[in-house]
Amino acid sequence: MTTEPRDTTPEVEVGTGVSATELPALGTGPSTAQESVAAYLSRRWEAIRGGELGSIPIVVGLVVIAVVFGMLDDTFFTPRNFTNLLLQMAAVATIAIGIVFVLLIGEIDLSVAFVSAVGGVLMTLLLRPEASNWPAWAAIGVALAVTTIIGFLHAIVITKFGVPSFVVTLAGLLIWSGVVLIMTTQYSTSGTIRIQNDTVIGIANDFLSTFWGWAVGVLVVVGYAISQIQTARSRRRGGLYAKPGVVIAAQTVGLAVVTFAAIGYANQDRGVPKVTVILLVFLVFWSFVAARTRFGRHVYAVGGSAEAARRAGISVDRVRIAVFMIGGFMAGVGGIILASRLRSVATGSGGGELLLNVIAAAVIGGASLFGGSGRVVAARLGALVIASIDNGLGLLGLSSGTKFVITGLVLLGAVLLDALAKRRRAARGAV
C-alpha cells in the first residue's frame, strides 16, 4: 500500500491574508518594519471584515455627536462644558463597568440603578451627626459591603434556583426602590437628605491642580506604553503574533495627543476632576482582571458557552456569583459618586434614566448582549456617548422625552450593529 507524501508547506494563517511563509519568524523580529506593519494591518482588516469592529463604531459616533452639537450650540466645545461632561459621565461609567461583567457572561442586571441608590443613601445616613457621625471611610466601606452582598443575594437565587437573571433583577429593582423610599422618607419629611461631610462631597466636586493633572496624564501614557510593550514581548515569547513596535509607538503618540489635549482643555476651566482619576483606577484594575487573570478568562468562557465552560472544569456558578458581586460593588461606587456630585440623596435616587443610561453605556461601548464579547474600558467610551447626548440635548433646551427617544435609538443602533457583527462572525467561522 502506498501512502501520499506529507505536505510540509505551511498553511495560510487565517485572518492575516498572507501565508505563514510570508510572516516574519517569531522571536527573531520582522525582517523590515514595513513587512511587520503590513502584516498587522492585514490582520486587523480581516478581523474588521469578520465583524470584529472593536471601538471603531463608538469613535465614529463620538465624532459625529461632537460635530453635530458643536454646530448647533457654541457652548458645547467650551472648557467648562467639557469639564461638566467628565463629571456627568463618571457615575454612569462606574456602574457600567459592573454591567459589562454581567453582560460578558450573557446575563442582565436591571436592579443596578436602585442598588447604587441603596449605597448612596446608606452612606449618607451613616454620615449624619445624629447617627454618631461615622468617618467617611467607614460609611463608604459599609455601603459598598451592603451593595456587594445584594449582588451576592441576586446571584444565589439565579444560580441555585435557576431563575433567569431578568426576573430576579426585575424583582430586585422593585425591592430596592422600595428600600430607598423607606430609608429616605423615614429620616426626612421632605424626602431629601443632604450630605454634610466635606470628604465625601469632595469625591465628585474637587479638582486636581494643574501640576497633578499633567502628572496623571504622563502616568497614563507611560503606563499604556509599558503595558503594550510587555504584552508584545509576552506574546512573542509564547510564539504568538504581536503588535509591531511601530504600531505601538503610533498608538502611544495618539493616546498622548488626546490625553494631553483633554488635560490642557480641562485646565482652562477648573482642572481635571478627581473623580476622573478614581474612574481611571477602576478601569485599569478591572481591565487587568478581565484580560490578564484566570478569572477573566473564565468569565469570557462562561459567556461564550456555559456548557462548554462547565465541561472544561470551570465552576460556572462561582463565576456568576462573583460577577454579580462585582456588579453590586461597582453599583455602590457609582451611587456614592452620584450622591457626592448632587451633595444629597432623595426618594428619587436611582430612578429616572439612570438604568437606561448605564445599560446603554455598556452596550454602546461594545459589550455584547449575547455574552462572551466586550471590553471593560469600552464602558468609559459608552458613558461618554451617553453623557454627550444628554449634555448636548440639554444645551439645546430639548425635553426629557426627546432625550429618551434619541438615547433609545442610539441603543437600538448599537444592539443591531452587535447582532449583525455576530452574524458575520458566525458566517465567516462556518466557512
C-alpha 81/C-alpha 363 separation (Å) is 25
E-strand ranges in 97-253 read 192-194
Report strand pairing: 344-346 vs 192-194: antiparallel
- b or e along 157-167 (b: 16 or more beta carbons within 10 Å of the residue's beta carbon)? bbbeeeeebee
Q: CA neighbours within 13 Å on the CB side: how many for 355? A: 20
How many helices, marked H, and strands, marked E, lie in the chain? 16, 2
What pLDDT, in 10s, does the model give residues 12-69?
A: 333 333 333 333 433 344 444 444 677 777 877 777 777 677 677 778 888 888 888 8
Residue 1 pLDDT exceeds 60: no
Dihedral in degrees, nearest 10, Cα atoms 204, 206, 209, 210: 50
Chain CA centroid to CA 75, Å: 28
Residues of the chain with pLDDT > 90, as a percent, come to 55
Q: Mean of the pLDDT values across residues 322-344?
A: 97
Q: Mean of the pLDDT values across residues 414-428?
A: 72
- Which single residue is written with the C-alpha cell 470628604? 199
C-alpha 247/C-alpha 96 separation (Å) is 30
345 or 236, greater pLDDT: 345
What pLDDT, in 10s, does the model give residues 395-406?
A: 888 877 887 888
Q: Mean of the pLDDT values across residues 292-296?
A: 94
User: What pLDDT score does 163 carry?
Assistant: 95
pTM: 0.86
Domains of the chain: 50-206+273-430 (1.10.3470)
What pLDDT, in 10s, does the model give residues 108-117?
A: 999 999 999 9
Residues of the chain with pLDDT > 70, as a percent, come to 88
210 or 351, greater pLDDT: 210
Residue 86 pLDDT exceeds 90: yes
Give whole-number Cα distances, 242 to 72, 228, 239, 245, 293, in Å: 43, 10, 9, 9, 19
| C-alpha cell, 358 | 448605564
Determine the 3-state secondary structure of 45 from DSSP: helix
Burial of residue 27 (number of CB atoms within 10 Å: 0-12, 13-18, 19+): exposed
User: What pLDDT score does 34 carry?
Assistant: 45
C-alpha 131/C-alpha 124 separation (Å) is 10
